[in-house]
A and B are shown apart, each in its own frame.
Chain A
Amino acid sequence: MRMDEACILVVDDELELLEIFSAWLGRSGCRVYTAPNGAEAMKVLRARKVDVLLSDIRMPIMDGVALVRNLNLMEIPPPRTLFVTGYGNFSRREIFGLGVEALLEKPVSRPALIEALNLCLLDSEEKWLTPSTEPRLQSATLTMESLEKATDEHSFALGRGGCSVACKLPLKEGMSIDLSIRFDREGLSLEAQGTVVWIDAEQGKAGVVFDYLQPKCRQWVLARIKTKNPRSFVPHG
């Protein structure tokens, strides 16, 4: 979907920021709705079709996390969601698990916001076409007995935009990595470039958003996402 075809709902209790974001998005040709809190946003979402939800996290009456939780309970397919926040006290793992696709930190520049929205509007198969030429900071090569067993044991889970994986490597949030996982029984392998979005050092788990998938694994990954249809972007794990 192109920017100028998209309908975007911006939610923030900071009215001046609402005004600024609306103006920016309007300049890119989007149709923009605004709401000052989660409760008002729910009203808009019930009444209109919205492609992307751009929301603050911390707001009175209903905050961003509660808004996404409520959306997940609704019948209608939820819009793609981005959070823009200045607040630091939240669980990234929970947010990506709820289906949020990106977290932007305030202050955010117009180009950065537009880029994130553009990426968000792409379909998965389009997102994962181009490999990055930048060097990766860490390379994780894992072998698992079987995909089904790993899924049952929560050592691997696939979301709409990435995966959570049990991994002993010293990863850090924001780190770009090469991820290679072999599933012996099915003879499948996952070869990806990704960005670590959360880590749980205690459980030895990490959440990774895919930036690029090798052509040979793209098909089975997309097919699996289609059949399982997970709500999470990166599973909670």
Chain B
Amino acid sequence: MFLLLGFFQVFGYLNGTALLRLHLASQSLIALACLLISIVLLRIVRSRRGFRFNGVLFCLAASIMACGLTYGLEAIAQWRPLLWVSIVIEAAAAVALIAVLVLLLRITPDILAVPHKLADSRFRELIEEAPDAILQVDERGTIVIANRTAERMFGYNREELLGSNVDQLVPQANRAAHAGQRAGFQRSGVAIPMEKRVGNLHALRKDGTEFPAEIGLSPVKTDAGLYVTAVVRDVTDRKRLERELEHERELRVQRIQVLARLAADLAHEIKNPLAIIHARASDLTEMASQGMAMPAGVVQKTCDSIVKTTERAIRVIRGVQALAHEGPHDPMQKTDVRGLIDQAVELSKTRFATHGIALDAVVPDGLPLVECRETQIEQVLVNLLNNSFDAIDGDERSQPWVQVRVSTQPVSELPGGVEAVHIDVLDGGPGVSPESRARLMETFFSTKPKGAGIGIGLSVSRTIAEDHGGRLELLDSESPTCFRLTLPVLARRTEGAST
């Protein structure tokens, strides 16, 4: 201070009174400012309890206050010097400043760890461009934060999202329940991780479309109240994959069941011819061992029977081999239904014509392509036509006509609303008796005389249909007899999907 006065005196620009006034005013202002600064600092310390820089802030406040007081006392000293008080306060200021220095050195690493502006913007980008939509809502459900992914996922822009209620992102049907769930979550205040979601959640886009979603929730407690951060993931693709895998698995299980049934049936169908061969051969052995004279005619008849029966067993085995061989190896191809039917009709028409049986096909235009193994489906169609032929031919009650009729139908129970193509084979035959109806699809069951058909036609056809994700059934109508082959339209199922 005296140094300062000396400075002014040396230059001698100002006279003593004016200089003193300026000096007093400055000292008073410094004292006041210091006091106010320390009050502000102390308020920060008080309101942010637990803040890691509170110690240094408190010491800083104390030292600034002490410095302010020394200035204030010096100003007062113009009229009434309080030398010892000044010295004590100066000492206090010195101690406080040293404390600030020590604390400052200790927390320097902490201060450096606070993100500076560039890191802060990176952090913001991290949230903005997160692969999941991130929303924060307040206690009333009003959206207060929404990232860019949320804008894209829900189709709203940020202005529309902020301030609106989060319930509008929930499908109408679940909206009432959602408000209740939200309240329940706020009461419990326990975070719900994404994988712990219950049931199938759906979210609603601005355009009214829904998508399957996984949602994780975490509570954020602040002085202004409870906020909830919601992370929303669009799982459309994953759900589709899951559905496809499930479909594949079902097909495989179905195929195994069919093969298991086939194995049991095969055993039965082979054991009958074996029983005949065994009996015939043991008869011969018995007669020979008893030294009986065997007429050539008996021997020939017995051996003929053995040969014929062996051939029958081989036919059965070949049929099963064909079934086991075909199928999973050939790739499925998108195929025109009309072409398939034309080929099957072409293959059969001469035979039908020579027996005076009318054969025609009614195929509407604009049929979707079906994904199938062409030769297999053709085999099924030819099989069905043959069955109709056999039913009509030689039965006097029959009317001599067979028709192939195609229709399309949405199948709502299959995921994705798959549309299916029905290929109906109708005939004017005598119909199928109720007893046979129940067993018709069993392997080796045949209503034809033994030897005329080996009975694997329909069950093989059914296996092929099931292998294609479709089915083969005998419709309930008594007359005309109608076998329906249903094939799913896989091509339409993937329409609109990214693959």
B interface, size bucket: 20 to 34
Q: Out of B269, B274, B279, B286, name the residue touching A20 (CB < 8 Å).
A: B279
Evaluate contact between A61 and B275: CB separation under 8 angstroms: no
The answer to whether A205 has its CB under 8 Å from any CB of chain B is no
The answer to whether A178 has its CB under 8 Å from any CB of chain B is no
> Given A17-B275, A20-B279, A107-B275, does the pair A58, B450 have CB atoms closer than 8 Å?
no
Q: How far is the CA of A108 from the CA of B271 in the complex (A)?
A: 10
Closest Cβ of chain B: how far from A16's Cβ, in Å? 5
Q: Out of B264, B276, B446, name the residue touching A89 (CB < 8 Å).
A: B264
Q: How far is the CA of A60 from the CA of B276 in the complex (A)?
A: 19
Evaluate contact between A86 and B271: CB separation under 8 angstroms: yes
Q: How far is the CA of A60 from the CA of B270 in the complex (A)?
A: 17
Evaluate contact between B279 and A17: CB separation under 8 angstroms: yes
Interface of A, secondary structure class, is loop
Evaluate contact between B436 and A14: CB separation under 8 angstroms: no
Evaluate contact between A20 and B280: CB separation under 8 angstroms: yes
> Given A58-B268, A60-B436, A88-B268, does the pair A109, B278 have CB atoms closer than 8 Å?
yes
Evaluate contact between B305 and A16: CB separation under 8 angstroms: yes
Evaluate contact between A106 and B450: CB separation under 8 angstroms: no
Q: How far is the CA of A141 from the CA of B76 in the complex (A)?
A: 118
The answer to whether A13 has its CB under 8 Å from any CB of chain B is yes
The answer to whether A15 has its CB under 8 Å from any CB of chain B is yes
The answer to whether B494 has its CB under 8 Å from any CB of chain A is no
Evaluate contact between A17 and B272: CB separation under 8 angstroms: yes
Closest Cβ of chain A: how far from B440's Cβ, in Å? 11
Evaluate contact between A109 and B267: CB separation under 8 angstroms: no
The answer to whether B309 has its CB under 8 Å from any CB of chain A is yes
Evaluate contact between B447 and A106: CB separation under 8 angstroms: no
The answer to whether B168 has its CB under 8 Å from any CB of chain A is no
A106 nearest CB neighbor, chain B only: B275
A14 nearest CB neighbor, chain B only: B272
The answer to whether B282 has its CB under 8 Å from any CB of chain A is yes
Write out the residue numbers on chain B whose beta carbons fall within 8 Å of the beta carbon of A62: 435
Q: How far is the CA of A105 from the CA of B286 in the complex (A)?
A: 21
Q: How far is the CA of A60 from the CA of B446 in the complex (A)?
A: 8
Evaluate contact between B264 and A110: CB separation under 8 angstroms: no
Evaluate contact between A15 and B450: CB separation under 8 angstroms: yes
> Given A16-B309, A20-B279, A60-B445, does the pair A107, B264 have CB atoms closer than 8 Å?
no
Evaluate contact between B276 and A14: CB separation under 8 angstroms: yes
Closest Cβ of chain A: how far from B433's Cβ, in Å? 8
Closest Cβ of chain A: how far from B298's Cβ, in Å? 11
Mask of A129-152 contacts with B, CB within 8 angstroms, 1/0: 000000000000000000000000
Mask of A45-63 contacts with B, CB within 8 angstroms, 1/0: 0000000000000101110
Evaluate contact between B450 and A13: CB separation under 8 angstroms: yes
Q: How far is the CA of A20 from the CA of B446 in the complex (A)?
A: 23
Evaluate contact between B282 and A109: CB separation under 8 angstroms: yes
Q: How far is the CA of A109 from the CA of B277 in the complex (A)?
A: 11
Evaluate contact between B276 and A16: CB separation under 8 angstroms: yes
Mask of B283-301 contacts with A, CB within 8 angstroms, 1/0: 1001000000000000000
A84 nearest CB neighbor, chain B only: B275
Write out the residue numbers on chain B whose beta carbons fall within 8 Å of the beta carbon of A61: 435
Evaluate contact between A20 and B436: CB separation under 8 angstroms: no
Write out the residue numbers on chain B whose beta carbons fall within 8 Å of the beta carbon of A109: 278-279, 282
Evaluate contact between A88 and B447: CB separation under 8 angstroms: no
Write out the residue numbers on chain A whose beta carbons fall within 8 Å of the beta carbon of B309: 16
Q: How far is the CA of A110 from the CA of B284 in the complex (A)?
A: 12
Q: How far is the CA of A147 from the CA of B332 in the complex (A)?
A: 65
Evaluate contact between A86 and B276: CB separation under 8 angstroms: no
Q: How far is the CA of A16 from the CA of B277 in the complex (A)?
A: 10
> Given A61-B435, A107-B271, A109-B282, does the pair A17, B264 have CB atoms closer than 8 Å?
no
Write out the residue numbers on chain A whose beta carbons fall within 8 Å of the beta carbon of B268: 58, 85-89
Mask of B71-89 contacts with A, CB within 8 angstroms, 1/0: 0000000000000000000
Q: How far is the CA of A14 from the CA of B270 in the complex (A)?
A: 12
Q: How far is the CA of A83 from the CA of B177 in the complex (A)?
A: 63
Write out the residue numbers on chain A whose beta carbons fall within 8 Å of the beta carbon of B275: 14, 17, 86, 106-108
Write out the residue numbers on chain A whose beta carbons fall within 8 Å of the beta carbon of B446: 60
Write out the residue numbers on chain B whose beta carbons fall within 8 Å of the beta carbon of A108: 275, 278
Evaluate contact between A86 and B445: CB separation under 8 angstroms: no
Write out the residue numbers on chain B whose beta carbons fall within 8 Å of the beta carbon of A13: 450
Closest Cβ of chain B: how far from A151's Cβ, in Å? 36
Q: How far is the CA of A58 from the CA of B443 in the complex (A)?
A: 12
Evaluate contact between A110 and B447: CB separation under 8 angstroms: no
Evaluate contact between B274 and A107: CB separation under 8 angstroms: yes
Q: How far is the CA of A20 from the CA of B268 in the complex (A)?
A: 18
Q: How far is the CA of A135 from the CA of B135 in the complex (A)?
A: 80
Closest Cβ of chain A: how far from B270's Cβ, in Å? 8
A63 nearest CB neighbor, chain B only: B439
Most buried by B among A24, A58, A62: A58
> Given A15-B450, A17-B279, A20-B280, does the pair A106, B264 have CB atoms closer than 8 Å?
no
Evaluate contact between B272 and A86: CB separation under 8 angstroms: yes
Evaluate contact between A107 and B450: CB separation under 8 angstroms: no
Q: How far is the CA of A14 from the CA of B309 in the complex (A)?
A: 11
Q: Out of B276, B282, B445, B450, name the residue touching A110 (CB < 8 Å).
A: B282
A58 nearest CB neighbor, chain B only: B268
Evaluate contact between B276 and A17: CB separation under 8 angstroms: yes
Write out the residue numbers on chain B whose beta carbons fall within 8 Å of the beta carbon of A15: 450
Evaluate contact between B279 and A107: CB separation under 8 angstroms: yes
Q: Which 4 A-B pairs give the minimum distances between C-beta atoms? A: A86-B271, A107-B278, A107-B275, A106-B275
Having A60-B435, A88-B267, A107-B278, one finds 4 other A-B pairs with CB under 8 Å, namely A13-B450, A17-B276, A61-B435, A107-B271
Q: Can you identify 10 A-B contacts, CB atoms within 8 angstroms?
A: A14-B275, A16-B276, A17-B276, A60-B435, A87-B267, A87-B271, A88-B264, A89-B268, A106-B272, A107-B278
B interface residues with partner A (beta carbon < 8 Å): 264, 267-272, 274-280, 282-283, 286, 305, 309, 435-436, 439, 445-447, 450
